[in-house]
A and B are shown apart, each in its own frame.
Chain A
Amino acid sequence: MRVTRTEVRRGAYADSIVLMRLQAALAELPGIDDAGVVMGTRANLDILRAGGLEPDEPDAIRGDDLVVVVAAADEERAAAAVGRIDELLKSRGPSSDDEIHARSLRQALRRLPDARWALISTPGRRAARVAREALERGLHVFLYSDNVPLAEEVGLKRAAAAAGRLVLGPDCGTAIIGGVGLGFANRVRRGPVGLVCASGTGLQAIASRVHELGSGVSQGIGTGGRDLHREVGAATALQGLDLLARDPETRVIALASKPPDPTVSAGLLGRAAELGKPVVVHLSGRPSPLPRIGSLHFARSLEETAEIAVRLAGDPQPAGHPGAAGGSTEGDTPRPDGARRYLRGLFAGGTLALEALHGLGPLLSPLVSNLAAPGVEAIRDPTDSRGHTLLDLGADDLTVGRLHPMIDPRLRIERLEREARDPEVAVILLDVVLGQGAEADPAATLGPVVARATADDGPAVVALVLGTDEDPQDRAATVERLTDAGAWVTHSLAEAVARAAALCTRPAAAPGEPVDLEALAPGFAAVNIGLPSFHEDLLSRGVSSVHVDWRPPAGGDERLLAILEKMRS
């Protein structure tokens, strides 16, 4: 017969590694079938129950209580196991025995005044408080803890930005700072590839692959999984890009994220596009159909991200802007000032429109269309453009009673003239499809309209001319005439998208004060608060570290904590 026995230690906090060690040790005792050792949160008690370890009097258990449940063959063995808890708790891991740990950040810094980073892995409910204190004391924060409320993350990152400090996380599994891995990190050599990643394993995968390919990582900046949420606004990713742009050792940047908020992604990629260094972008679940838009290179997988980055890092020619077809050679694309800030895409070809939409999706937000694509809003009235709008003019609802625009240009010309009059439009993106069956001389009809549109500080016109030099329309002449009319002409959809996007993206700026590059310099010292293993790892990497043996403040008494908080202010 199986019996279970519960032991509750009120307010006895232990970190997860101690809990696991105790659990394993109890389970190995004679006559013990199973043992569960957790801090008594509701979620943890549910986990115990799911494993068939029902605690006694669960309603009396609180989140700061240490709960042990053992399942044994008989009462006697259960009691014997419970009787050994204290002894087993005392047998701590190796090497930390020689050290006297601090109990507060204040005293840790008294012992290690040069510390630059705080590694925080306390339970999430309390982690923000610890992180805030670390920021107040001038440290950069690696925040491993999860379950930090979103509002706390926003507040922490705001405080960090104002002070020119980094908060990597919360829920940041890994980072590589000055060649030293924080949290869970692989041993990778130093090199020219700088990483900004929202996902811990994403960063590990890219970094490991970069190493495998013979290259190395300059810095690995983990941002935490929610950095690209609308509320957080990519605060850490923007700081990271800004740092890596200035970091002389970083030649190529890899930017990987979970599916981002469209607006945040647009601002972030807008910023990434103007760093002056190539950026390899991997937006998980949102692959771009275009391998490259300007200096942004889009990868389809984590591995490919690494591969492209390594290739680019070895490329002596740094990323430039793509050249234009035909006579248009200007390289830079000065972004128009003031009210002109929107893109209007007027496509005759539906599939071209869709591909342009996929390409522009991560860069412009909100982006409206009569085609469906991830992150793209459905247009309410296709006859009325609002904000960034890209239209398939060949769609059925627009061609009722008319010929397809590839044959009859009138619909598009009317629309082009109307968009050109809109003082908020920065760029009009067109496709000009040549070939048999298509309009005989598109330059003749479009040219004058383009010339009128672009005259007198009107919007730019970017034209994608699709066809071959054997097509009946005379491709070269078409390009030349459109160019003369004032259009920027290319045969590449990627180039067209890049050019158009460059004219109307609004790059987000890194918030607050710039972070000093010193933040990422090797040879730093750190304070570790929470998991002792992170401290051991730092020491093994030659990093000076003081460990803070953290316990819940005021023993988890909320009333006292509230008073202490008020006394701080």
Chain B
Amino acid sequence: MSIDRANAKAVERMIDARPRLTGIERAGDALPGLEEGTLLHAGPPIDWPRMSGPLRGAVIGALLFEGWAATPEEAEERAAGGEIRFDPCHHHGAVGPMAGVTSPSMAVYRVENETHGNVAFSNLNEGYGKVLRYGAFDDEVLERLRWINGPMAEVLGAALDAGEPLDLRALLSEALHMGDEGHNRNKAGSILFLQRLAPRIARTCADRETAARVLAFLGDNALSVLNPVMAAAKAMADAAHGVDGSTLVTAMARNGTDFGIRVSGLGDRWFTAPAPTPDGLYFSGFSATDANPDIGDSTITETAGFGAFAMAAAPAIVTFVSGTPKDAMAATLEMYEITEAEHRHLTIPALEFRGTPVGIDLRKVVELGITPRVNTGIAHREAGIGQIGAGLVRPPMAVFRDALLAWAEAHDL
């Protein structure tokens, strides 16, 4: 099969994938291989010695959350001592924002691609402030985690069980017409999520106080829908993975130290290079010197053709990428340069409802010297301080170059 045909097939699968949120499960039950003593993390594989501050903090928090350690010191000792097995979320069909640390007793969203049958998972979003995904692990963080993964997960699970699965592609499509880009801005999507769940929660949750608290939490958190949307993106990207000869990127992910990509036609191999530090705006009191290198699996949104790729749909957040609505337009137009197709289901009103750029082609990235744009949150480099800004980052060109060389080698070019 020619490369062009392989890529056309892969991108068709990515576009045709129809991810639907079917329910909530316990991670240890849902994710194969996630056993006691194993923690999943964002990005390509990494071991404790090379982990950055926020990831280490999240690991410590997860050990405390699971009760595998009683104190942060003990947790650190265990993690450093090789007692914990670390594995990327991506190796288990899952994704997680920022540190992405997922442990067996956490709850995960289950997203099923109705078109191709593959499934993907993501943990539950903790909201803003001091949170595990930014490496915070104090009592307040752990207490919230227990509530989210306990009572809230139960409520959400019951609500999701009480009706048809939620069509996340349709939700995202609607959100893009309401000023979201699906990665950094999920205000509209989160409200739509709340709107879809609220009646079901009202019907299924017997305890009014719990119901109110869950609804308030979902409504207050403009990132509520980010995690299910990431799982949806993962389901879309996975549908395009494994097409022989294809040069399309099917995963981009960062662990806070390395930026890694996977390519449809190159199996499970990661191509990695040092993760860059995002370029963006900082909350008051912080600056670029405080920033951790880029972290998180949320780049799966750009991989699936939205996020920064749909920037033209989200002019409200252009300040994060230093500019004007015209810059938002330029960002999306630039991404058409390196993508295979235009999305049929995700469209941008400001571009006369042109489909979002979808299916990053390795060849175009290398030839034009244009790396994908990624909208991202910026983590403090020390564990537990949290988000200090948001901005734009681009993967290092080296990962695409290496992947191209590997593709050439695999095909005797």
Contact = CB atoms under 8 A, between A and B. Distances in A.
Given A107-B333, A107-B337, A560-B404, 16 more contacts: A100-B330, A100-B333, A102-B337, A103-B337, A103-B368, A106-B337, A107-B336, A551-B369, A553-B367, A553-B368, A553-B369, A554-B366, A555-B369, A557-B401, A566-B413, A567-B363
Interface in A511-569: 551, 553-555, 557, 560, 563-564, 566-567
Residue among B330, B369, B408 having the largest count of chain A Cβ atoms under 10 Å: B369
Contacts, number: 48
Interface in A96-111: 100, 102-104, 106-107, 110
Contacts of A560: 366, 401, 404-405
Interface string A362-401: 0000000000000000000000000000000000000000
21 contacts: A100-B329, A102-B333, A103-B334, A104-B364, A107-B336, A551-B368, A551-B369, A553-B368, A553-B369, A555-B369, A560-B366, A560-B404, A563-B404, A563-B408, A564-B363, A564-B367, A564-B404, A566-B408, A566-B413, A567-B408, A567-B413
Contact of A554 (B247, B334, B336, B369): B369
B208 interface: no
Contacts of B368: 103-104, 551, 553
Contacts of B364: 104
Nearest to B413: A566
A104 B413 contact: no
B322 to A, nearest CB: 13
Interface of A: 100, 102-104, 106-107, 110, 551, 553-555, 557, 560, 563-564, 566-567
Interface in B1-31: 3
Interface of B: 3, 247, 326, 329-330, 333-334, 336-337, 363-364, 366-370, 401, 404-405, 407-408, 413
Contacts of B367: 553-554, 564
A402 to B, nearest CB: 74
A560 B367 CA distance: 8
A566 B367 CA distance: 13
A103 B338 CA distance: 10
Contacts of B401: 557, 560
Contacts of B326: 100
Contacts of B247: 567
Contacts of A551: 368-369
Contacts of A555: 369
Nearest to B331: A100
B337 A104 contact: yes
Contacts of B336: 107, 110
Contacts of A110: 336
A406 B313 CA distance: 92
In the A-B complex, the 10 residue pairs with the closest CB atoms:
A563-B408, A100-B330, A103-B337, A566-B413, A553-B367, A555-B369, A107-B337, A103-B368, A104-B337, A100-B333
A555 B371 CA distance: 12
A102 B368 CA distance: 11
Nearest to A564: B367
Contacts of B413: 563, 566-567
A567 B369 contact: no
Nearest to A98: B326
A101 B330 CA distance: 9
B363 to A, nearest CB: 6
A560 B337 CA distance: 18
A380 to B, nearest CB: 54
Residue among A106, A110, A560, A567 having the largest count of chain B Cβ atoms under 10 Å: A567
A102 B408 CA distance: 28
A113 to B, nearest CB: 13
A107 B364 CA distance: 12
A78 B364 CA distance: 39
A566 B405 CA distance: 12
Contacts of A107: 333, 336-337
Nearest to A562: B413
A567 to B, nearest CB: 6
A567 B334 contact: no
A557 B405 CA distance: 12
Contact of A564 (B329, B333, B366, B370): B366
A357 B405 CA distance: 62
A148 to B, nearest CB: 20
Nearest to B367: A553
B314 to A, nearest CB: 17
A107 B366 CA distance: 16
Nearest to A552: B369
A103 B366 CA distance: 13
A554 B329 CA distance: 25
Contacts of A102: 333, 337
A567 B408 CA distance: 8
B66 to A, nearest CB: 46
Contacts of B408: 563, 566-567
Contacts of B334: 103
A107 B361 CA distance: 14
Nearest to A553: B367
Contacts of B337: 102-104, 106-107
Contacts of A566: 408, 413
A566 B329 CA distance: 33
Nearest to B369: A555
A104 B336 CA distance: 10
Contacts of A100: 326, 329-330, 333
A563 B369 contact: no
Contact of B3 (A553, A557, A567): A567
Residue among A102, A104, A106, A566 having the largest count of chain B Cβ atoms under 10 Å: A104
Nearest to A569: B2
A563 B329 contact: no
B333 A563 contact: no
Contacts of A564: 363, 366-367, 404
Nearest to A551: B369
B1 to A, nearest CB: 13
B370 A103 contact: yes
Contacts of A554: 366-367, 369
Given A100-B333, A104-B337, A110-B336, A563 B405 contact: yes
A428 to B, nearest CB: 61
A102 B332 CA distance: 11
A423 B337 CA distance: 64
Contacts of A563: 404-405, 408, 413
B247 to A, nearest CB: 8
Nearest to A110: B336
B105 to A, nearest CB: 47
Nearest to B401: A560
